Structure 1
Amino acid sequence: MKGVSFFLGMISALWASVSPSFAEQETSRTNWRNGAPLLLEDVLSASVIHYPKILETMANERVAAGNALRAVGAFDTIFTATGQSRLSGYYDGTTFDAGLTKRLRPLNAKVYSGWRVSRGEFPLYEDDSYTNRLGEAKIGVALSLLRDRAIDADRLKLIDASLGVTAAEIDALMARIAVQHSAISAYWGWVAAGRQLEIYENLLKIAEARQSGLEEQVRKGARARIYLTENAQNITRRQILAAQAQRALEQATNSLSLYYRDEFGTPIIAQRNSLPNQAEIVEPAPRSDMTRSETSPMIADRRPEVSAILNELARAQAALKAAENELQPRLDLQYEISNDFGAIAEGGPTRDGVDNVVGIRFTAPFGRTTARGMREKARAEIDALLQRERLTREQIAVEIENIRLERDVARQLAALATKEVEQSKILEEAERKRFASGASDFFLVNLREETAADAELKLVDADLARRRAQAALDAATMNLAGLGLTEADG
């Protein structure tokens, strides 16, 4: 029993130590259940951190960084050591050699240093193996003066890996912009669906409230019984509309959950009581729009689509440079200085002193068909990319103007819809008073109510179109703040 009690005590202590974190997690996941309004910034701050596509591009950035680091490895310092000893035969020579080699990027340079020492005797054809007693030290440098001077296979890999990092960063930016744009569209779609449901429910409540009044009037003989049937039909029709709106809200909520996530990245199903009212929605400060000639070049330079093309262009230019390098002859220069130290050994006095050695190697390829083909391919790719860049810039300019036009028209329609709502409400209230006094009939009252509801629905649709157009414009013009991003994200 003591063992069981001790075990249970340990379990309780462990739970006490971790339960606050679980409580905090549950609180963070259920804030929306407590009626707190879900605002756009809440969704954007969650989607930019936890949306799987963004996390995927971040992982791809790390992959590209790993490839770049691997490419740098071709220029690492290399230590080598070799030893050789004759175990039998007439000669008993033994050698040991150690050295460091470091490749440099300019001029395809290679600097090296080494030390070697020998003991015993060597055959005549291995005469250069002899050193003095303390060995021979050397230092040298090798340079490429023509082929491989500016670029070679390893430096081409290094350039390609660096451009791969840039490409991954561009893909990540494109993903962030696309995700945040979609998140904004999903959020306002959810808000609009909630308002539409509210409008239909209010319309239904009016008909249901009128039913009891009509029943009383029919009992008193003030109204014909057909009014009850007609109003019941209106109730049924409005119940159908409310049910359809409820379904639309649930679908919009499901779409929103892809972007609204908790700290573990799990989608959250927002509740209806977290829908913000008009007073809780903060309108962004109006931005002054520049003209097309002012914005197009500046925005196009920042657009990731153009950046991606320019990155591909840099790759093609590097490939062209590599192809032209293969067409050149090779002229390599090498300089080495060496000196033996210590007493003169078996090799004799000819090993003593400082040696300065200069070497040149020249080779010239013939034919070079492969290199010429690579050059023509790279030139054609550059021409194609330049045309793609031109078209992309023109498409961006047209896209921005069309979105701006759509946004401006949506603003006008929203303003007109607001006026229509005000006018229809006045007519609706007037018709109800006339109906109550017996000066109007049920058909006109119902018509005014549904006309007013239609006007409110038009306003909701116009407001949704306006907000979605503004989000599209923010994405097209690289207004990162409007997408819930920072300049660091760009």
Structure 2
Amino acid sequence: MKHSITKPVLIALVLFCSTNILVGQTDSLLLTYEQFLQEIYQNHPIARQINLQRDQAAQYLKKARGGFDPKVGANWDFKNFDKKNYYNILNAHLKVPIWSDIALEAGYNYANGYYLNPENKLPEAGQAYLGIKIPLLNGLWTSERRTTLQQAKLMLGASEVEIQALLNDLLYKAGKTYWDWVKVYSELLVVEESLKNAQTQFEATKRSFIEGDKPAVDTLKSFIQIQERAVLLANKRIEVQNAARLVSAYLWSDQQEPLVLQEGMYPVGLAQLAMQPLAESLLENSLSQLQQHPNILMYDFKLQNLDLERKLKVNKLLPKLDFKYNFLSTEHVDFFPVSAAAPIENYKLGLKFSMPIFIRKERADLELVKLKLKATSYQQEAKRRDLQIKVENYFNEVQNFALQTTTIESMVQNYATLLEAERIKFSIGESSVFMVNTRENQLLDAQLKLIKQQVTYLKSRTAFFWITANLEPN
């Protein structure tokens, strides 16, 4: 089952129906590859930590939107000296950003006293005002505040892609650990079977000795074979225990408590897995979809972010020319009097202009952003090429390992046939314990080689789906 990384929220991973596969499980001791990945995705601390990035990006977006929040303020100055009210000045205002640096402002001014500056004299009831501030050049189409908001929106999308990439890496590492467990567990079963066969051969040799057909030294040779298998089996049991602990390291409960595999739990058997080449169309599809790979998409977000900065730097090359108009109320604090001429009779108007003569800082900032855009674009192309080569290499490895697995499977069957023939010859006195032991060793070596080859195939297959930003349960 193949899942595409292009899905917007979740990594491409099959999540099967939740089952209790850990401590306390009663229905089965089998821990499948799919169940293992599901548990990691749901409960592993790093997986949960990675998902926090989504919340973090949402908070950055909330913070950026705060730059467009309306603001209220007030100033009050009062002076009383020598029993005289020098002045009592109050200003309360509300500022509402509506676009870039364009903002509406409403307020109320009140002033009285003996020593007021003439320009501060107001109607007795105070004066309300309603106005607008518009940057005519620098800040009209974009600004620091608007750019920050747009970048925060980009960050929200980038966080989803980064989550997918990080989860993909986590599950890939866990998958390789699972296949290591499969390898040593499969080797354990083969060695156990080999020990049983050695014991059977020993009993047959002992009977032949008792019947006078074989010398005593043959029983010793057979017994040494048992000892060698017993030592090998003990080592394999240690390897299985260690591999199981590494698998357990990825398993956590809902309460974030580390879990240990239940006694007797075992991984999927290699015989249950198909070791077949991948479809050629899969390579073509994977290469054609590289543009949707998380690592490529991350560069897309970087380029978009830098392009926003470029537009801001271009805007800063323009002079600052701010226009401000305030409509002033009459002494009745009325914004909309009967007289239609009031808005053009009672108002406050202003223009503010400033511009660096050489604008060297602004031009340098713009060139630096352009250089970053080029560098990031080059990095993206290099990453795309690197991914393409790795996809092709991993695909070729899977195809080659699948063919090798078929060859080694045939070789194991041939060694098994030789061993059976040698045992028949031994039973009729035409072979020796040495030859039987030799055939058993050859068969065991071939079986272990087959297991190694099969696991190599599975790891390579997992690596292919990892590098293509897919994680396909086998």
User: TM-score when scaled to structure 1?
Assistant: 0.82
Give, in whole Å, the separation in 1 of the partners of 2:119 and 2:253: 76
Task: Evaluate the alpha carbon distance shift between residue 460 and residue 343 of structure 1 in structure 2; reply closer, same or farther with a 3 A threshold.
Answer: closer
1:47 to 40, 47, 56: 40
Deviation of 1:111 after TM superposition, in Å, equals 0.9
Percent identity for Structure 1 against Structure 2:
20
Task: Evaluate the alpha carbon distance shift between residue 284 and residue 252 of structure 1 in structure 2; reply closer, same or farther with a 3 A threshold.
Answer: same
Unpaired stretches in structure 2, ≥5 consecutive residues: 1-19, 335-341
Residue by residue, what CA displacement relative to the aligned partner does 1:246-287 show, whole Å, maximum 9, x if unpaired?
222122112211223333333433356322564995769997
More displaced stretch, 449-458 vs 197-206:
449-458
Give, in whole Å, the separation in 1 of the partners of 2:21 and 2:467: 33
Question: Residues 374-389 of structure 1 correspond to what in structure 2 (within 5 A)?
Answer: 374-389=365-380
Higher relative helix content: 1
Give, in whole Å, the separation in 2 of the partners of 1:56 and 1:189: 26
Residue by residue, what CA displacement relative to the aligned partner does 1:385-425 show, whole Å, maximum 9, x if unpaired?
11111111111111111111111112112222222222222
**SS of equivalent to 1:30:** coil
Aligned to 2:308: 318
Task: Evaluate the alpha carbon distance shift between residue 381 and residue 477 of structure 1 in structure 2; reply closer, same or farther with a 3 A threshold.
Answer: same
Deviation of 1:67 after TM superposition, in Å, equals 2.9
Task: Evaluate the alpha carbon distance shift between residue 408 and residue 164 of structure 1 in structure 2; reply closer, same or farther with a 3 A threshold.
Answer: same
Aligned to 2:219: 228
**SS of equivalent to 2:325:** strand
Question: Residues 53-452 of structure 1 correspond to what in structure 2 (within 5 A)?
Answer: 53-88=46-81, 93-106=87-100, 108-118=101-111, 120-121=112-113, 123=115, 125-133=117-125, 135-271=126-262, 273-276=264-267, 278=269, 281=272, 288-290=279-281, 294-298=285-289, 300-342=290-332, 354-452=345-443
Give, in whole Å, the separation in 1 of the partners of 2:410 and 2:276: 23
Does the aligned pair in 2 maintain the 1:301–1:307 contact within 8 Å?
Answer: yes
Equivalent AA in structure 2 for residue 250 of structure 1: Q
Give, in whole Å, the separation in 2 of the partners of 1:483 and 1:55: 21
Equivalent AA in structure 1 for residue 144 of structure 2: A
User: TM-score when scaled to structure 2?
Assistant: 0.84
Deviation of 1:307 after TM superposition, in Å, equals 1.6
**SS of equivalent to 1:325:** helix
Equivalent AA in structure 2 for residue 65 of structure 1: A
Task: Evaluate the alpha carbon distance shift between residue 414 and residue 247 of structure 1 in structure 2; reply closer, same or farther with a 3 A threshold.
Answer: same
Residue by residue, what CA displacement relative to the aligned partner does 1:175-223 show, whole Å, maximum 9, x if unpaired?
1101111222222221221110111111112212322332332233211
**SS of equivalent to 2:128:** strand
Aligned to 2:8: none
Aligned to 1:458: 449
Does the aligned pair in 2 maintain the 1:199–1:453 contact within 8 Å?
Answer: yes
Give, in whole Å, the separation in 2 of the partners of 1:444 and 1:208: 16
Give, in whole Å, the separation in 1 of the partners of 2:279 and 2:270: 24
Give, in whole Å, the separation in 1 of the partners of 2:353 and 2:298: 40
Task: Evaluate the alpha carbon distance shift between residue 271 and residue 236 of structure 1 in structure 2; reply closer, same or farther with a 3 A threshold.
Answer: farther
Task: Evaluate the alpha carbon distance shift between residue 227 and residue 394 of structure 1 in structure 2; reply closer, same or farther with a 3 A threshold.
Answer: same
Give, in whole Å, the separation in 1 of the partners of 2:73 and 2:361: 35
Does the aligned pair in 1 maintain the 2:329–2:346 contact within 8 Å?
Answer: yes
Does the aligned pair in 2 maintain the 1:407–1:470 contact within 8 Å?
Answer: yes
Q: Which has the higher contact order (CA 8 A, sep 6+)?
A: 2
Deviation of 1:112 after TM superposition, in Å, equals 1.0
Does the aligned pair in 2 maintain the 1:37–1:274 contact within 8 Å?
Answer: yes
Unpaired stretches in structure 1, ≥5 consecutive residues: 1-26, 345-351, 485-490
Give, in whole Å, the separation in 1 of the partners of 2:237 and 2:56: 45
Deviation of 1:122 after TM superposition, in Å, equals 5.0
Give, in whole Å, the separation in 2 of the partners of 1:316 and 1:49: 35
Give, in whole Å, the separation in 2 of the partners of 1:192 and 1:383: 47
Equivalent AA in structure 1 for residue 295 of structure 2: E
Residue by residue, what CA displacement relative to the aligned partner does 1:79-100 show, whole Å, maximum 9, x if unpaired?
1123344434655653433221
Give, in whole Å, the separation in 2 of the partners of 1:469 and 1:196: 19
Question: Residues 7-22 of structure 1 correspond to what in structure 2 (within 5 A)?
Answer: none
